[in-house]
Structure 1
Amino acid sequence: MDLFDVGPYELSEAIKTTMLRQRLVSLTEHHIANCADYQKLFGDIELGSIKQLEDIPFLTVPLFKQRELKSITKDHVFKVLQSSGTTGQRPSQIYLDAQTAKLQSRVLVKIMQEWLGKQRRHMLIWDHPNVIKDKASFSARGAGIQGLSFLGRNHTYALNDDMSLNVEAINEFHEKFSDQPVFMFGFTFMVWKYGIQALQASSLKLNFESAVLLHSGGWKKLQDEAVSTDTFNTVANDCLGSIKAHNFYGMVEQVGSIFVACEHGYFHAPSTAEVIIRNPETWKPAAVGETGCIQVLSALPESYPGHSLLTEDKGFVVGRDDCQCGRKGTYFKVLGRMAKVEARGCSDTFERGAS
């Protein structure tokens, strides 16, 4: 059995943990041997002492802003991704080789097919087309759109460059595909402000019969406006028709490892990834239901040491193997940023740049 061949939510926690630990120990050894900075930090670790996932050493996400962390030579760099760093601050630099990029795409397809089905859907993107052309904005936003676009067809951008609704494009897309399976994607705050709220203020009426809306990014501004997940989903259905909206948690530092929220609103760890919640005072693993700092583990990063990262987000594990949706593995909630952490989310960065 291979982690990369099984369904994303098929493995029980016990079986997955054993397989994932072996893979992560192997990645730790690989990065110690091939990344000088990683070797300086963890070269003295006795790999045989890693008995549990919590024993895997972790880097903090901000280190990728400060250091050029890669486990490949320059001539093997296939692509460099950037995080959505705030204005004036250096974004994370994530170095991919062809093998890691291929592995990320393979796993991403498996995860997304769980929510979209295997047939490619017609795709409506809640952004403007220049976001993937403009080098200044091609970071997490552009990478997110480009990374998911191959799951759709007949790609249509719903917004103009000034973030206004592209009414002509939306109407044409709706007329052609309203009764067919549709895939919508955008960053959460932008879908809300420039999509849903703009539709409410316009005379444009949409009624898609079978659409899935996947959205991701900072919820801070929605929380500031007192917009809950239930409100978002209800209003989205009012404006767009019969849609299933799923938020997902992920970051450019671990592309391919995404945690999609199920019908009950819980994020689920796929077979190739895991989350550990750590007490911010002791850094020991927190109990189920206890809030702490989110650590993300991924079986994918071979070209850079991003397989075990301590994020700047807080949350808690709800349970394992027993979610009402039937998917196995760890499921959890994200509560926002830890205190005194820079707000670097995609939505927040865009708003600062636009104001």
Structure 2
Amino acid sequence: MTPTTTFEEFGARLREFIQRAAPEPFSGRRIAPAILDEQFNELALALFALQFAHVAPYRQFCQARGLAPGQVRAWADIPAVPTAAFKEFELTSLPPAERTAVFHSSGTTGQRPSRHFHNAESLALYEASLVPWFRRHLLRHFPTLRCPGPACFVILTPPPTLTPHSSLVHMFETLRRRFGGRESAYVGTLNEGAWSVDVDAAREALSASRLRDQPVVVLGTAFAFVHLLDALAAEECRIWLPRGSRALETGGYKGRARTVPKAHLHALIADRLTIDEPYIVTEYGMSELSSQAYDYVAGSGDVQGAERTAQSSNHLFRFPPWARAQVCSPESGREVAEGETGLLRVFDLANLRSVLAIQTEDLAVRRGKGFELLGRAPNAEPRGCSLRATP
């Protein structure tokens, strides 16, 4: 295969891979796992070579470990940068004049946020990664509903005009543009830097979907759902959403005085918004990544098919075929055995102009081809989406 010498060439190759690896729903087209693995490895090594050459802090990081592209033969051996490095260094191949967007993760007050720089090309690739994996997990059965038109999205965050550096809001806006109808609405607000939910606006938007008998997709952080559900409970209010409505929740509670176990949160969503629990999905992502993991296919009635195990009642997360996850020992740096706990490491081919290999501070359990998420490691800094929500 001819070596990939530019980011533009790599982007074209990755788009082709995404199209092959994520066929349209119900098409029946599948690529053999061995071929996917081989192609992923080729692409990962090609992107590693480009990023080694063009991202100076990353090159220095690799050289300090005695590693260079010619010495790495497998994607799992590509050096992974800690997420904290995005706070200290400009991990990008983009010169300042070409940086048209930057996503921040918010830490505690006074701390420098992580910075993930993008240009139009890398944002387009971000969106090419986002759309098929979201559609597969949240909208798989949506075309068969009695309302086959665009989905109504009710988004429990502030709009992108108020949050230009939020990768989560950019994600939601991309999905709204791609799949949402004109009734879609943002019902979040921004107060002194903190996110909150405009409960009246949320109630109005959700109730309107029932009057139209139009299934709704509710998107938000876990704590935004708690805010809304607490308000509805205080009013003894239940919103009877149309059958087939669904919810996506993401983020945790680090830095918050109150936490709600995921199973309880999903039960509350089912109770107050009458969204059946098989239609409630959790997303895992971060500003340093360009791909997302989901734990469930909405409406499937089964968590990731046969990947649900007898050992755990938790949902298992999977990234798309163009990203891979490992659960690694913090002591040895090697992948742990099945069922063991370690730190999550992600290799994301859609991280075009930054670094593809990311070492997170999130604890996970290795479960087959997926992972069970446990939360932040002790002493890790709070992740942004939970800190942005008001207490």
Short-chain TM bin: 0.7 to 0.9
**Paired residues of 2:107 and 2:113 also in contact (CA < 8 A):** yes
Q: Tell whether 2:272 aligns with 1:242.
A: no
The verdict on how the C-alpha distance between 1:123 and 1:278 changes in structure 2, with shifts beyond 3 A counting, is same
How far apart, in 2, do the equivalents of 1:86 and 1:288 lie? 34
The answer on whether the counterparts of 2:255 and 2:382 sit within 8 Å (CA) in structure 1 is no
Match of 2:383 among 344, 350, 354: 344
Give the Cα–Cα distance (whole angstroms) in 2 for the partners of residues 72 and 226 of structure 1.
39
Aligned to 1:74: 96
Q: Which residue of 2 aligns with 1:113?
A: 135
Once the two structures are superposed, the pairs formed by residues 252-263 of structure 1 within 5 Å of their partners are 252-255=287-290, 257-262=291-296, 263=302
Distance in 2 between residues matched to 1:62 and 1:221, nearest whole Å: 18
Worse-superposed segment, 270-279 or 212-221: 212-221
Give how far 1:11 is off. 5.2
Answering whether residue 346 of structure 2 is matched by residue 318 of structure 1, we say no
Contact 2:156/2:218 (8 A) holds in 1: yes
Q: Which residue of 2 aligns with 1:217?
A: 251
CA distance in 2, matches of 1:316, 1:11: 27
**1:134–1:164: structure 2 CA closer, same or farther, 3 Å change rule?**
closer
Give distance in 2, aligned partners of 1:75 and 1:225: 43
Against the structure 1 CA distance between its residues 337 and 145, is the aligned structure 2 distance closer, same or farther, given a 3 Å change threshold?
same
| Bigger Cα displacement from structure 2, 44-53 vs 289-298 | 44-53
Equivalent residues, number = 335
Residues 159/31 of structure 1: CA separation in 2 closer, same or farther (3 Å cut): closer
Partner of 1:300: 350
What is the DSSP-based 3-state SS (H/G/I as helix, E as strand, rest coil) of the residue aligned with 2:42? helix
Q: What residue number does 1:5 align with? A: 19
Gaps of 5+ in 2: 1-12, 24-29, 144-148, 297-301, 304-314
On the 8 A contact 1:199/1:239 being kept in 2, the answer is: yes
Residue-by-residue CA offset, 1:239-292 (whole Å, 9 max, x unaligned): 11134111111101012x100111422111211111011111111111121100
Residue in structure 2 matched with residue 83 of structure 1 by the alignment = 105
Note if contact 2:62-2:68 (Cα within 8 Å) is conserved in structure 1. Answer: no
The question of 1:191 aligning with 2:225 is answered: yes
Q: Report the Cα distance in structure 2 between the residues aligned to 1:111 and 1:289, rounded to whole angstroms.
A: 26
Q: What is the CA–CA distance in structure 2 between the aligned matches of 1:161 and 1:68, rounded to whole Å?
A: 28
Identity over the aligned pairs, expressed in percent?
A: 25
Distance 1:196 1:107, change over 3 A: same
1-structure distance, mates of 2:106, 2:17: 30
Larger RCO, structure (CA 8 Å, separation 6 or more)? 1
Q: Is the 8 A contact 1:116 1:183 kept in 2?
A: no
**1:62: how far off?**
0.5
Shift of 1:49: 3.6
Given that residues 312 and 341 in structure 1 are in contact (C-alpha distance below 8 angstroms), is that contact kept between their aligned partners in structure 2? yes
- Structural RMSD (CA): 2.6
- Give the Å deviation of 1:100: 1.2
SS of structure 1 residue aligned to 2:336: coil
SS state at 2:204 partner: helix
Q: Is the 8 A contact 1:160 1:166 kept in 2?
A: no
Q: 1:125: which partner in 2?
A: 155
Q: CA deviation at 1:332?
A: 0.9
What does residue 152 of structure 1 align with? 180
1:97 maps to which residue?
119
Contact 2:52 2:69 in 1 (8 A): no
Q: TM-score, normalised by structure 2?
A: 0.78
Query: Residue 292 and residue 25 in structure 1: after superposition, are their counterparts in 2 closer, same or farther (change >3 A)?
Result: same
TM-score, normalised relative to structure 1: 0.85
Structure 1's unaligned 5+ residue stretches are 320-329
Distance in 2 between the 1:294 and 1:172 partners? Answer: 37
Aligned residues of 1:8 and 1:272 also touching (Cα < 8 A): no
Structure 2 SS opposite 1:316:
strand
Instruction: Pick which of 25-34 and 236-245 moved more.
Output: 236-245
Q: Tell me the secondary structure at the aligned position of residue 99 of structure 1.
A: helix
User: Contact 1:294–1:312 (CA<8 Å) still a contact in 2?
Assistant: yes
Tell me, in whole angstroms, the C-alpha distance in 2 between the residues paired with 1:219 and 1:14.
Answer: 39
Aligned residue for 2:128, secondary structure, equals: helix
